[in-house]
Amino acid sequence: MSRPLRIEYENAFYHVMNRGRGHENTFLSDDDFKYFLYCIEQASLRFNIEVHSYCLMTNHYHLLIKTPDANLGKAMKHINGLYTQYFNRTHNTDGALFRGRYKAVLVDADNYLLHVSRYIHRNPIETSTPLVDDLAKYKWSSYSAFIKSGATPKWLVRDFIFSLQAKKRKYAAYKQFVEYECNEEVSAFYGAKKLLSVLGSDDFIESIKGYIATSNNESKLVSKRHSANDVITYLANHFNVEVDDIVMVKKGRKEKNLPRWYAIKLCQDLTGLNLQALADVFNVKHYSAISKAVGRLNALIIENKQVELQWEALRGCLMSEVKI
């Protein structure tokens, strides 16, 4: 049997999941859940991964991960290995804990990430026997952090998910989305007998074909070779503005600063910088300002066809310069 398809490149989003060997439980106590979260924290620090949602069930887990450095395999090996060592030591067991290599679904962030986050968070009530009657009461997922009813791990990234909704009352809006919205296409995707390796639009799938190694079904590691300076300089030249007009906040400015918004979103997509690093580049005090700018642009792309076309053209031009 061939190994699962692995597609790794910088800034990719993945829905990662794994379950216990033979459907056995992988979490037997609160301490087990807590230690797995510790393993995630260590991986986020060591491998620079971003965790955008999570849900730990009794015999499996779900993670929504972004990989700025195209290193999902290394990060997951660390998480699974570290936790398995702990579990065997603590419960006097031996051997493999999980059924095999984790499953990773590459996610088209623009079109499906919000829905995947919803799917992950609804796991405790979508089982044959619901674990809770209120999702906010389930302790071992990030849902309570997304609706501001529980503590937020310092390594959990929420602002990008919020930016996809582009709504002011973000906590209430997300709660309503999880409780009442349903995407039939996503439901069908996860309900299939064999889970595919990519959840994305036709355009997204076409864009990643070059990252797939056809000879051995393994991944090509792709370096986009773009720095924030590359992106900002390109946009300054394209729009015939000064670099400072893009990187500096203009006090009292009310009109839309599209070159700056494009630069922020493109830097997020193409440089591998995390939100705090982007905040430093664009001279804002808190990284939430980066997510807000991306959210405004996302909303404008939906509302304005001209902006959508301009965004696609700019991203396409920069992507065409990528060297694999």
- Our count of domains for the chain comes to 2
Residue 42 has, within 13 A of its CA and on its CB side, a CA count of 15
Is residue 138 within 8 A of residue 132, CB to CB? The reply is yes
Burial class (CB in 10 A: 0-12, 13-18, 19+), 311: buried
Same domain? 23 vs 73: yes
Q: Residue 240 is part of which domain span?
A: 228-319
Same domain? 201 vs 232: no
Q: In Å, how far are 52, 171, 255, 276 from 258, measured between CA atoms? A: 26, 27, 9, 21
> 97 in a domain, yes or no?
yes
Last residue of a domain, one of 211, 239, 258: 211
The pTM of this model reads: 0.68
> 291 in a domain, yes or no?
yes
Same domain? 113 vs 169: yes
The pair of structure tokens assigned to 162 is 């919020």
> 5 in a domain, yes or no?
no
Same domain? 133 vs 260: no
Same domain? 235 vs 91: no
Same domain? 266 vs 191: no
Same domain? 179 vs 303: no
Same domain? 149 vs 56: yes
CATH, residue 153: 3.30.70.1290
CATH, residue 268: 1.10.1750.10
- The pLDDT score that the predictor gives to residue 168 is 80
> 254 in a domain, yes or no?
yes
Report CA 305 to chain centroid distance, whole Å. 26
> 196 in a domain, yes or no?
yes
Residues in CB range of 106: below 8 A, 6 or more apart = 7, 12, 13, 14, 197, 198, 199, 200, 208
Show pLDDT as tens, one digit a residue, over the chain (324 residues).
Answer: 445 567 888 899 999 999 999 889 999 999 999 999 999 999 999 999 999 999 999 999 999 999 999 999 999 999 999 999 999 999 999 989 998 889 999 999 999 999 999 999 999 998 888 899 899 999 999 999 999 988 899 999 999 999 998 778 999 999 999 998 888 889 899 988 888 899 998 888 888 877 764 334 444 444 445 788 989 998 999 898 999 999 998 776 566 889 999 999 898 878 877 788 888 999 998 877 888 888 888 888 878 888 888 888 888 888 765 433
Same domain? 180 vs 36: yes
Same domain? 242 vs 168: no
Q: In Å, how far are 6, 38, 108, 246 from 202, measured between CA atoms? A: 19, 37, 10, 32
Q: In which residue are the tokens 């792309």 written?
A: 301
Same domain? 92 vs 168: yes
Same domain? 142 vs 85: yes
> 166 in a domain, yes or no?
yes
